[in-house]
Amino acid sequence: MTSNVYKVTDMQSVQEAAALMSEHNIGSLPVVDQNGTMVGIITDRDITLRTTAQGEAAQTPVSQVMTAQQVVQGTPEMDAHEAAQLMAQQQIRRLPIVENGQIVGMVALGDLAVDNQLGNEAGQALSNISNPSDPQK
């Protein structure tokens, strides 16, 4: 798990989110409200499909394009096997780790892949993630 998690607020612009992703070479950011409570997640794909492709302005607030409903979250008590299984079931590449509403870490598929003991779980997760699913609206 990565514990130094970059995040954006729901009122920041998608341009600010994209710049932060570019600066740190990451593909998603947890979104927090003014109290630091996680309220969603925004990915580079969200920015591309829900902003750029729709002709929206770069100053569009993150809250208008983020995934807010049904954001899958893990807990600090989960072990890596449980996290990998959840990621596979939910077809997600990144799992925010949340405690008391606050983001405390992020598990990425790459984190699992580099651990020799978790190679099978990472492969299974990737296999499930790669299955086609309906696009989010």
Tokens of 82: 């449980």
pTM listed for this prediction: 0.80
Predicted confidence at residue 81, as pLDDT, reads 86
Predicted confidence at residue 125, as pLDDT, reads 53
Other Cβ atoms closer than 10 A to 107: 22
* E strand or H helix that includes residue 19: helix 14-24
pLDDT digits (tens, 9 = 90+) for 25-84: 999 999 999 999 999 999 999 999 999 999 999 999 999 999 988 889 999 999 888 998
pLDDT digits (tens, 9 = 90+) for 82-106: 998 898 889 888 999 999 999 999 9
Reply yes or no on whether the pLDDT at 129 is more than 60: no
The structure tokens 């729901």 sit at 10
Tokens of 50: 């829900």
- With CA atoms as reference, report the closest residue to 102 among 68, 78, 76: 76
